[in-house]
Structure 1
Amino acid sequence: MASLSGLKQQLLLDGEVVYFHPELGRPVFQKVLQRERSRSVSANAPRLTYVVFDILVDGDRDMRKLPYIERHHRLKEVAANVPGLLIADLFLDGEALWDWAEERGWEGIVMKRLASPYREGKKHRDWYKKKIAIQMEATAVAFIIREGRVASLVLSDEERNYIGRASLGLNERNKRLLLQYAGDHHTDNAVWHPLHSDLRKERLAWLSEPLKVQVTFLEWSQDGMMRHPKLVSIEGV
């Protein structure tokens, strides 16, 4: 990233590229995927920020064995005020931070022991991520039909990207009404060619008039799929 040229020395940092939605005021992972999928970067491409969590190497100095609170202090010294970089804040009141994140629809919070060294991987107890269920509006463009019944809803985002299937939250009444809806609003025009591998073996009923739904899920996967989606409401059902 061009912003890293603003650093005055060689550093090894741990961070993540994030898109902050100007209206929502929080990260939107789908916009990062949209940027990654683009073959070229236009002037209208989402503007990304590199959020820095930790510092591993500072020049010739290995920082990984130092306590996290010391590493964070050094990180602010060497990387503060660099355009395009954002250093993750350190909060000592975890409950207040959780309430703040939950109220604003953030994905969750990460808790770290202040005295912990830097550890790679997830097989340790020094860092812990507590997730908040994300809720968003999606579009049901098709139903998965099994044994003559609606088994799942096939969902897309506002850019018509496939983001997963959802069955949790469906009850028998929903399934009956949705099957009738599929019969009344059937089309042979598939939204995607070719189909995502997740859908190729399924019997799909495509909808001429897709339905808006509210869905909650834990997080986005690296390939842009919702993890553990659950339907909250279905427009008109």
Structure 2
Amino acid sequence: MQPMLATPAPSGVLPRGAAWAFEVKWDGVRVLAEVEGGLVRLLSRTGRPVTPAYPELAGLAHLPDVLLDGEVVALEGGVPSFAAIADRMHVRDPRRAAELARVRPVTFMVFDVLRVAGADVVERPYDERRRLLEALDLPEHVLLSPVHDDGDGLWDVTRAHGLEGVVAKRRASPYRPGARSGDWVKAAHRRTRTAYVAGWRPEQGGSGRLGALLLGAPDRDGALRFLGRAGSGVSGPLATRLRTSALGLARDTSPFADTVPAVDARGSHWCVPELVVDVRYLGRGREGRLRQPVVRGLRDDATVDPWEQE
């Protein structure tokens, strides 16, 4: 089963009124936690097993047969840090994961429940699912994501505290697995998105190291569109890993359906668009290019947002 997804708020304005509940938009990794017969199975947004990465969540095993939806976050100074969680999401070695869990444990912020005591509850309204969720005895490292009635007030608080944003959820709505629904509406203080790596450029100076990525996203017809070139954030171990992976996906021609400007294409190495990165940016230009994109990390737990999505 895949998680329900939110749609961007039109013009960044959240809905208002008593029909809506409001939650913090956490800057972490989306995870479905399934507990059955005392066994815990953690799945990414795309359905990949990620249980070994988060051994501190083993306490979920005492819950009855449940399926929880939430966000795994790593806190720095009380604020979720995507850079910190990016170091955890790729770990599969049990000993390494255990050491990281001891030094900097993650927190699973749970915001929905799809199954309780073996009973499917996705068709029940949000408010009823929330009551079922609040009745669960959650273990250490697992917290309920708080719910608020005042969306405008939560927007101001999240901005003041450096949090990512707010999600509005229609109180009467069911849970729609795998769907991007208008019953959940999101707005962020800082724009982020996922993108495919479709090419890369080496650093200037002839070192051969990776210096920038050429990013793309599919349009409504499935054609890959150019989002821009990103050099910020591409350094150290991340740059090494990206270059190694991109070399294994090398191709001779550009995978983009549109023309990449010469200033960006010059000296580029093309690759099959399979690698997915998380990007923060200031906005988009007239041709849809990202303004001042910063690469935050490599993702293996997410799909790429469509070209048209803001």
Q: TM-score, normalised on structure 2?
A: 0.47
**Number of the residue aligned with 2:71:** 16
Q: Determine the structure 1 residue equivalent to 2:90.
A: 37
Number of the residue aligned with 2:170 = 113
CA separation of 1:193/1:89 partners in 2, compared to 1, >3 Å: closer, same or farther? closer
- Cα pair distance change 1:193/1:130, threshold 3 Å: closer
Q: Is the 8 A contact 1:105 1:134 kept in 2?
A: no
- Count of residues in correspondence between the two structures: 173
- The correspondence for 1:104, drawn from 152, 156, 161, is 161
**Paired letter, 2:66:** L
- Amino acid across the alignment from 2:81: V
- 1:126 counterpart SS class: strand
Distance in 1 separating the partners of 2:174 and 2:153: 25
Deviation of 1:78 (Å) = 1.0
Matches within 5 A, 1:139-218: 142=203, 154-156=231-233, 161-162=238-239, 194=243, 197=246, 203=267
Q: Which amino acid aligns with 2:59?
A: S
Change in 2 beyond 3 A, CA 1:67/1:231? same
Q: Is the 8 A contact 1:106 1:134 kept in 2?
A: no
Structure 2 distance, partners of 1:70, 1:192, is 45
CA separation of 1:45 and 1:37: change in aligned 2, threshold 3 A: farther
In structure 1, runs of 5+ residues without a counterpart are 136-140, 146-150, 163-190, 205-221, 233-237
Write the distance in 2 (CA, Å) between the matches of 1:223 and 1:118: 27
CA contact (8 A) 1:69 1:114 kept: yes
Q: CA deviation at 1:152?
A: 5.4
For 1:158 and 1:86, the matched residues in 2 are separated by 34
Give the percent of matched residue pairs that are identical in Structure 1 and Structure 2.
27
5+ residue gaps, structure 2, are 1-56, 193-201, 205-210, 213-227, 251-264, 269-274, 282-289, 294-310
Q: How many angstroms apart in 2 are the aligned matches of 1:152 and 1:15? A: 32
**Whole-Å separation in 1 of the counterparts to 2:118 and 2:173:** 21
Aligned pairs for 1:32-111 (under 5 A) are 32-38=85-91, 39=93, 40-41=96-97, 42-43=99-100, 45-80=103-138, 82-111=139-168
Is the Cα–Cα contact under 8 Å of residues 27 and 106 in structure 1 kept in the other structure?
yes
Q: Alpha carbon RMSD of aligned pairs, Å?
A: 3.4
Q: Is the 8 A contact 2:191 2:280 kept in 1?
A: no
Change (3 A) 1:159 1:27: farther
Instruction: Map residues 122-141 of structure 1 onto 2, 5 A cutoff.
Output: 122-133=179-190
Distance 1:20 1:223 in 2: 23
On the 8 A contact 1:142/1:153 being kept in 2, the answer is: no
Task: Give 1:93's aligned amino acid.
Answer: D
Deviation at 1:134, TM superposition (A): 6.1
Between 35-44 and 118-127, report the one with greater CA deviation: 35-44
1:79/1:87 contact within 8 Å kept: no
After superposition, give the CA deviation of every residue in 1:1-28 in whole Å (9 maximum; x if it has no partner): 3121242x1111111221111x2x2211
How far apart, CA to CA, are the structure 1 residues paired with 2:103 and 2:266? 34
Return the TM-score normalized by structure 1. 0.60
Q: Highest CA radius of gyration, 1 or 2?
A: 1
Aligned to 2:53: none
Aligned-partner residue type, residue 156 of structure 1? G
Structure with more contact order per residue of length (Cα contacts < 8 Å, sep ≥ 6): 2
Q: CA deviation at 1:115?
A: 0.8
**How many angstroms apart in 1 are the aligned matches of 2:60 and 2:180?**
30
Match of 2:8 in 1: none
**1:227 positional shift:** 4.2
Q: Is the 8 A contact 2:73 2:106 kept in 1?
A: yes
